[in-house]
Amino acid sequence: MDKSLFIFILIGVGFLYFITNFVGDIQEEDDRYQNTEYKMEHKFDKYYTTDSIGQQILDLTDAPPAVQIEAWNASPLKDEFLTLYPDFSEMKHYVKDRVRGEYITQKLLKHIGDVEDKFFSGKIDSEQAKRMLDKLR
């Protein structure tokens, strides 16, 4: 491959990286340039805080119940929560430690308990339990 072509491609990639980051920063800072996709992606950002040891917390204390469930289902904390499966006690501890809001914590703890009971009684297998934990209604 010719050196000049390689340098041209490298400069092009650098330019695209700069432009995409620059446009992202503009969207974040200026409401006029935020499109609907950006707004949907960052809809629940106001509910995230950081605790004293630097962990991300989902604080839904003042949100209505429907928003609490929607925020949980869209949260990256839910993905982290699902990696704890099949340690149900650790999952419950995770919810108590990283999720704030009376309605959502009670609903999650009840949901985990229900799935745990069905799993250990043999009514559902491991994959079904994982799918049930992934869906909160």
Residue type present at position 49: T
105-129 pLDDT per residue, tens: 999 999 999 999 999 999 999 899 8
Q: Using CB atoms within 10 A of its CB, is residue 136 exposed (0-12), middle (13-18) or buried (19+)?
A: middle
Give the H or E element holding residue 82: helix 76-82
How confident is the model at residue 29, as a pLDDT?
55
Q: How many CB atoms are located within 10 Å of the residue 111 CB?
A: 17
Q: Which of 36, 30, 80 has its CA nearest to residue 55? A: 80
59-103 pLDDT per residue, tens: 888 888 888 888 888 888 888 888 988 889 999 999 999 899 889
How confident is the model at residue 20, as a pLDDT?
74
26-40 pLDDT per residue, tens: 555 555 555 566 555
